[in-house]
């Protein structure tokens, strides 16, 4: 079995996925893609939880993962609704064409 | 009832303001004159009631309400009628009513008729508050009020720059005096803990030792206030310029009533002044100096109202030195007779000016005696009265002042007063001869419009003329209870009336120290002062009765120039006071205010503006940029914790 995959490797994978997510958020223009990148970051977090849960022999981490996934689902619902409305308003979902936050 | 005396003119002001032009000219005139007349009637009734009381208990008090109460300190809005204020209140309302009546005719063609009576009634309110006040603070309210009204009325024709300037000058010069009054008042409060006349005067002999620095300082400060209001050296310069106002105003405010407020105040505080011999000496010296000094200037003025203005300054000087030699009663007596004949002179001059369509230069008058018979008659009476020829009013009061000065041993003051009397007779008859006698020097235009004034103006003149004739008789010695009359002093009706205020003994303070003069000396003094007046009149008659030019100017041009330019005192003040203060103001304005104060405020604004310009760069409105900064921030935090 994969008993002896070290914790460090799993954390490294988690970190890699997280950074991919961060870079995705920063460089992509499409709001949907940015959204997916955020999901990547969340799931990188989940991966780290699971890894620690296994390494420490505790179920607490796995419980947290459920919470994170719930929150992520709710966030998607709200986020997508925003995106749909922005699209109706501006006819674009490219974030560099949306600068409503400037006072 | 007492409170109604000042309240009625104030009510008239309110009605005038509320109804405005709906009143119409007749309504305005009736309202204004009616209110003052009602005040006069009330004042007369009050004084009659006062006279019915025994001499020792002749005070009436009206507490209106408590103005403020701080611990033990309490100030009431309260009025006091005692023999001293009764004289003032009768003069103010009586002469004031006559002048109101006269103004109806004089201002008939003025566009701001209503505003004029508004100010005039407001003045009456303030003046009556001043004389009827029961404590220093209420007096100060009236004091400031009359100052304000004086300013408003001098600058009544504010479209004339000279009038606006004169108003401002009067206001600023009076402020210096008011500062003195305030300082004196606060000093008294600091020592006695009260502002009520009765309590201050009762406490003064206990808390002050006679002649100490504190009481001298307090009285000198009060004196400064009095010199401002009553146009004495060194603060007299505003009064001649105040002649820019309408002539009834000059008569009411700048001759008969307001300018006597200083004398009244000194007389009111006679207890304090007699405790400070140095201050009393100063009052006498200032008064005598002003009496003589202003009289010399009056000799060389050509504007009919300016002659009268300097004459007023000079006569106020007499009142001051009367107080200064301790003869407060004589000062008040002269105040009263002066109010009659000087109001008459001003109103007569106003009548002349009115007849000549606004001409005030005596060099363009002459020969008016037959053309303006009524005005001529009353002016002659007034000139004789002020010159001091018996039995006219001015003789009695002036003689009483001069003999008080002589009796108290102030021979220098007496000589100055006597010289002043000669000059008074001289310039008054110079005015008379230049205006009414000689050949006509009228311009063709003025000649054409020449007319005697309407009855509403002549009637007050006649009443005032009558008062100028008989007004002095209240100073006549009278026999009481069959007592044989051995001296001309001490028995006069007015002084007996004032005795409860100024202390028993008739001639007030003077009698404390000085024995009464002998019968012979009295008569000798009277002869001297009448001779002085007669000499002045004779000189004026010789010089001006037929002259076309200006004899003094021909004989002594340099002296005349000096007098005509009023000793260059205005210029002197301009150099030593006005300009340095303006320069200081300029520095404070251009450097301190504009650079330091404004600089600080603007500097703060500049810093905020610069900082926001920098920060604005970071606010792009793009989510990506914000996310980038967020990430960089988190990365920096992580780096920080890792490195640490």
- Domains of chain A plus CATH, in order, are 29-90 (1.10.287.3510)
Partner A contacted by B617 (CB < 8 A)? no
- The 10s digit of each residue's pLDDT in B437-455 is 878 788 777 777 788 888 8
Mean pLDDT over the full length of chain B: 87
Distance CA B570, CA B276 (A): 31
State yes or no: pLDDT of B344 exceeds 70.
yes
Per-range mean pLDDT, top range of B116-120, B493-497, B573-577: B116-120
Confidence tier at B11 by pLDDT (50, 70, 90): very high
CA A16 – CA A23 distance, rounded (Å) = 11
Count the neighbouring beta carbons within 10 Å of the beta carbon of residue B64. Answer: 15
Closest-CA distance of chain A to residue B622, Å: 5
Nearest to B621 among A26, A29, A100 (CB): A100
pLDDT value, residue B507: 40
H or E element at residue B612: helix B598-616
With a cut of 60, say whether residue B512 has pLDDT above it.
no
> Across chain A, what does the average pLDDT equal?
88
Q: What is the pLDDT of residue B555?
A: 79
Chosen from A19, A20, A22, A28 to mutate, greatest number of chain B CBs within 10 A: A22
From the list A25, A29, A102, the residue facing B621 with the nearest CB is A102
Burial of B556-583, coded b for 16+ CB within 10 Å and e otherwise, reads eeeebeebbebeeeeeeeeeeeeeeeee
Q: Which of B620, B627, B628 sits opposite A99 (nearest CB)?
A: B620
CB within 8 Å: B627 and A25:
yes
Contact B232, B317 (CB under 8 A): yes
Residue of A nearest to B625 (CA): A26
Position A71 scores a pLDDT of 92
Q: Which residue has the higher pLDDT, B231 or B71?
A: B231
* Rounded distance between C-alpha atoms, residue B107 and residue B95, angstroms: 17
The 3-state secondary structure of chain A reads CCCCCCHHHHHHHHHHHHHHHHHHHHHCCEHHHHHHHHHHHHHHHHHHHHHHHHHHCCCHHHHHHHHHHHHHHHHHHHHHHHHHHHHHHHCCCEHHHCCCCCC
**pLDDT of amino acid B487:** 42
pLDDT of residue A67: 93
pLDDT band for position A3 (50/70/90)?
low
Give the C-alpha distances (Å, rounded to integers) separating A25 from A35, A81, B399.
8, 19, 109
Per-residue pLDDT of B389-441, as tens digits, reads 888 888 888 888 888 888 888 888 899 999 999 999 999 999 998 888 878 78
pLDDT at B508 over 50: no
Cross-chain residue pair B627–A26, CB shorter than 8 Å:
yes
What's the residue count for chain B?
644
| Minimum Cα–Cα distance from B620: chain A residue | A102
- Please report the pLDDT score of residue B513 as a whole number: 41
Q: Return the closest-CA partner of residue B158 out of B124, B199, B112.
A: B112
Helical ranges in B242-303 per DSSP H? 247-251, 261-268, 270-275, 277-299
Distance CA B640, CA B644 (A): 6
Cα(B216)–Cα(B604) distance, integer angstroms: 51
Q: Is B70 helix (H, G, I), strand (E, B) or coil?
A: strand
Contact A47, A14 (CB under 8 A): yes
Chain B residue numbers with beta carbons less than 8 Å from the beta carbon of A102 are 619-621
* pLDDT over threshold 90, residue B329: no
- Measured N-to-C along each axis, helices B455-470 and B393-407 cross at an angle, to the nearest 10 degrees, of 40
Residue B206 confidence class, pLDDT cut points 50, 70, 90: confident
Task: Identify from B617, B619, B622, B630 which residue to disrupt to test chain A contact, counting A C-beta atoms within 10 A and taking the largest count.
Answer: B622
Find the range with the poorest average confidence among B132-141, B237-246, B362-371: B362-371
Q: Of the candidates B619, B624, B631, which has its C-beta nearest A95's C-beta?
A: B624
Residues of A in contact with B624 (CB under 8 A): 25-26, 29, 95-96
CA distance, residue B619 to nearest chain A CA (Å): 7
Cα angle A32-A30-B629, degrees, rounded to a multiple of 5? 100
Residues A97 and A80: their CA atoms lie apart, in Å, by 18
B600: left (phi over 0), alpha (psi -120 to 50) or beta: alpha
Can you give the C-alpha Rg of chain A in angstroms?
17
Check if B629 contacts A (Cβ < 8 Å).
no
pLDDT of residue B134: 92
Higher pLDDT, B367 or B48: B48
Strand partners, B26: none
Residue B547: predicted pLDDT: 65
SS3 B131: helix
Q: Find the residue in A nearest to B623 (Cα).
A: A95
pLDDT at B490 > cutoff 50: no
Check: CB of residue B307 under 8 Å from CB of residue B250: no
With an 8 Å Cβ cutoff, is B627 touching chain A? Answer: yes
Q: Which helix (H) or strand (E) holds B370?
A: none
Q: Which residue of B has its CA nearest to A34?
A: B624
Residues 6 or more apart in contact with residue B316 via CB below 8 angstroms:
B230, B231, B232, B259, B260, B262, B263, B287, B290, B338
Q: Does B625 reach chain A within 8 Å, measured CB to CB?
A: no
The residue among B398, B381, B424, B255 whose CA lies nearest residue B321 is B398
Half-sphere exposure of B63 (CA within 13 A, CB side): 7
SS3 B235: coil
Tell me the nearest-neighbour CA distance from B581 into chain A, angstroms: 52
Contact A101 B621 (CB under 8 A): yes
Lowest mean pLDDT among A20-29, B65-74, B374-383, B605-614: B65-74
Distance CA B374, CA B336 (A): 24
Q: In chain B, which residue's Cα lies nearest the Cα of A28?
A: B624
Q: In this structure, which long-range contacts are made by residues B543-547, counting pairs with CB atoms below 8 Å and at least 24 apart in sequence?
A: B543/B430, B544/B429, B544/B430, B544/B433, B544/B434, B544/B437, B544/B438, B545/B433, B545/B437, B545/B438, B546/B437, B546/B438, B547/B438
Q: Nearest CA of chain B to the CA of A54: how many Å?
A: 26
**pLDDT of amino acid B479:** 43
| Pair of tokens at residue B239 | 């009064």
Angle, nearest 10°, between helix axes B83-106 and B261-268? 170
Q: Round to whole Å and give the CA distance between B70 and B432.
A: 57
Using the predicted structure, report yes or no on whether residue B40 has a pLDDT greater than 50.
yes
Tokens found for residue B151: 């300013």
What pLDDT is recorded for position B477? 62
Residue reference for tokens 């709001």: A31
Is A102–B626 a contact, with Cβ atoms under 8 angstroms apart?
A: no
pLDDT over 90 at B578, yes or no: no
Of the ranges B202-206, B252-256, B302-306, B486-490, which one carries the lowest mean pLDDT score?
B486-490
**pTM for this structure?**
0.79
Instruction: Please compute the mean of the pLDDT values over residues B370-376 and round it to a whole number.
Output: 88
Residue B133 to residues A42, B58, B127, B138, B260, Cα–Cα distance (Å): 88, 16, 10, 5, 15
B600 vs B364, B594, B596, B610, CA distance in Å? 60, 10, 6, 15
Q: Given this model, what pLDDT does residue B481 score? A: 41
**Least Cα separation, residue B634 to chain A (angstroms):** 11
CB A95 to CB B619 under 8 A?
Answer: no
In chain A, what residues touch B620 (CB-CB under 8 Å)? 99, 102
State how far residue B153 is from chain A, nearest Cα, in angstroms.
58
Q: Taking 80 as the threshold, does the pLDDT of residue A103 lie above it?
A: no
Which residues does B158 contact at the CB level (< 8 Å), separation at least 6?
A: B164, B167
Q: Determine the distance in angstroms separating the CA of B608 from the nearest CA of chain A, rounded to an integer.
A: 18
> What average pLDDT score do residues B152-164 get?
91
- Residue B505: what are its φ and ψ, rounded to 5°? 110, 15
Q: What are all long-range contacts of B521-524, with beta carbons under 8 Å and residues at least 24 apart?
A: B521/B406, B522/B403, B522/B487, B522/B488, B522/B489, B523/B488
Residue B68 DSSP SS3: strand
CB pairs under 8 A between A and B: 29
Residue B154 has pLDDT above 50, yes or no: yes
Going by C-alpha positions, the residue among B34, B83, B79, B24 that lies closest to residue B54 is B83
B478 touches chain A (CB under 8 A): no
A interface toward B at CB cutoff 8 Å? 22, 25-26, 29, 95-96, 98-103
Residue B483 confidence class, pLDDT cut points 50, 70, 90: very low
CA distance B224 to B179: 8
What are the respective helix, strand and coil percentages of chain B, to the nearest 5? Answer: 75, 5, 20
| Nearest-angstrom CA–CA distance, B239 and B314 | 11
Nearest to B622 among A22, A25, A99 (CB): A99
What is the spatial distance between Cα B69 and Cα B622, in angstroms, rounded to a whole number?
Answer: 67
- Spell out which residues of chain B touch residue A93, defining contact as CB-CB under 8 Å: none
CB-nearest to B619 from A25, A26, A102 is A102
Cα distance between residue B185 and residue B190, in whole Å: 9
Which of B624, B632, B638, B642 to mutate: most A Cβ within 10 Å?
A: B624
- B556 Cβ contact partners less than 8 Å away, ≥ 6 residues apart: none
At B472, is the pLDDT very low, low, confident or very high (cuts 50, 70, 90)?
confident
């Amino acid at each position: 079995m994969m008993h002896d995959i070290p914790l460090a490797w799993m954390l490294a994978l988690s970190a890699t996925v997280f950074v991919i997510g961060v870079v995705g958020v920063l460089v992509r223009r499409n709001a949907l893609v940015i959204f997916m990148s955020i999901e990547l970051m969340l799931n990188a977090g989940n991966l780290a939880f699971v890894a620690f849960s296994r390494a420490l022999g505790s179920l607490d981490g796995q419980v947290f993962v459920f919470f994170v996934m719930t929150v992520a689902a709710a966030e998607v619902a709200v986020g997508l609704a925003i995106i749909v409305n922005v699209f109706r308003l501006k006819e674009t979902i490219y974030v560099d064409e949306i600068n409503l936050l400037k006072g | 009832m007492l409170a109604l005396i000042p309240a009625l003119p104030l009510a008239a002001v309110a009605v005038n303001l509320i109804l405005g032009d709906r009143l119409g000219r007749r309504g305005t005139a009736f309202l204004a004159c009616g209110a003052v007349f009602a005040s006069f009637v009330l004042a007369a009734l009050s004084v009659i009631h006062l006279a019915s009381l025994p001499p020792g208990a002749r005070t009436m008090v009206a507490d209106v309400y408590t103005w403020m109460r701080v611990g033990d300190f309490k100030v009431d809005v309260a009025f006091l009628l005692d023999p001293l204020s009764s004289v003032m209140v009768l003069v103010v309302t009586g002469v004031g009513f006559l002048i109101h009546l006269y103004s109806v005719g004089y201002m008939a063609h003025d566009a701001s008729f209503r505003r004029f009576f508004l100010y005039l009634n407001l003045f009456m309110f303030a003046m009556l508050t001043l004389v009827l006040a029961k404590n220093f603070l209420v007096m100060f309210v009236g004091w400031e009020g009359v100052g304000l009204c004086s300013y408003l009325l001098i600058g009544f024709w504010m479209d004339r720059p000279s009038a606006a300037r004169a108003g401002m000058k009067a206001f600023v010069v009076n402020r210096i005096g008011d500062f003195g009054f305030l300082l004196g008042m606060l000093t008294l409060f600091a020592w006695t803990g009260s502002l009520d006349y009765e309590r201050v005067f009762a406490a003064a002999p206990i808390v002050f030792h006679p002649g100490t620095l504190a009481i001298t300082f307090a009285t000198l400060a009060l004196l400064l206030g009095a010199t401002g209001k009553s146009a004495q050296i060194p603060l007299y310069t505003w009064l001649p310029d105040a002649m820019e106002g309408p002539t009834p105003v000059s008569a009411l405010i700048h001759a008969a009533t307001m300018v006597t407020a200083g004398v009244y105040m000194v007389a009111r505080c006679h207890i304090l002044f007699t405790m400070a011999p140095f201050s009393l000496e100063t009052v006498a010296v200032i008064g005598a100096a002003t009496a003589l000094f202003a009289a010399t200037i009056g000799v060389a003025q050509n504007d009919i109202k300016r002659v009268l203005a300097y004459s007023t300054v000079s006569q106020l000087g007499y009142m001051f030195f009367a107080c200064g030699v301790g003869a407060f009663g004589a000062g008040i007596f002269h105040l009263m007779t002066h109010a009659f004949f000087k109001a008459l002179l001003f109103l007569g001059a106003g009548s002349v000016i009115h007849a000549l369509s606004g001409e005030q230069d005596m060099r363009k008058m002459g020969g008016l005696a037959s053309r303006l018979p009524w005005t001529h008659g009353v002016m002659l009476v007034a000139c004789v009265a002020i010159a001091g020829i018996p039995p006219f009013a001015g003789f009695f009061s002036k003689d009483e002042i001069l003999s008080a000065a002589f009796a108290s041993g102030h021979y220098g003051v007496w000589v100055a007063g006597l010289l002043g009397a000669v000059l008074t007779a001289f310039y008054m008859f110079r005015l008379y001869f230049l205006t009414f006698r000689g050949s006509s020097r009228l311009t063709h235009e003025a000649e054409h419009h020449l007319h005697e004034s309407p009855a509403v103006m002549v009637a007050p003149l006649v009443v005032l003329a009558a008062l100028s004739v008989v007004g002095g008789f209240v100073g006549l010695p009278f026999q009481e209870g069959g007592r044989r009359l051995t001296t001309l002093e001490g028995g006069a009706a007015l002084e007996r009336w004032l005795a409860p205020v100024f202390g028993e003994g008739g001639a007030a303070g003077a009698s404390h120290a000085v024995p009464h003069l002998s019968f012979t000396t009295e008569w000798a003094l009277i002869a001297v002062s009448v001779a002085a007046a007669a000499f002045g009149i004779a000189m004026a008659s010789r010089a001006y009765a037929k002259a076309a030019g200006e004899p003094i100017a021909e004989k002594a041009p340099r002296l005349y120039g000096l007098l005509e330019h009023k000793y260059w005192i205005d210029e002197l003040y301009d150099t030593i006071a006005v300009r340095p203060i303006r320069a200081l103001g300029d520095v404070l304005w251009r450097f301190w205010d504009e650079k330091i104060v404004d600089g600080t405020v603007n500097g703060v604004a500049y810093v905020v503006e610069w900082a926001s310009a920098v920060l604005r760069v970071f606010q792009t409105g793009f989510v990506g940029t914000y996310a980038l900064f967020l990430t960089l921030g988190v990365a920096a935090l992580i780096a920080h914790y890792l490195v640490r």
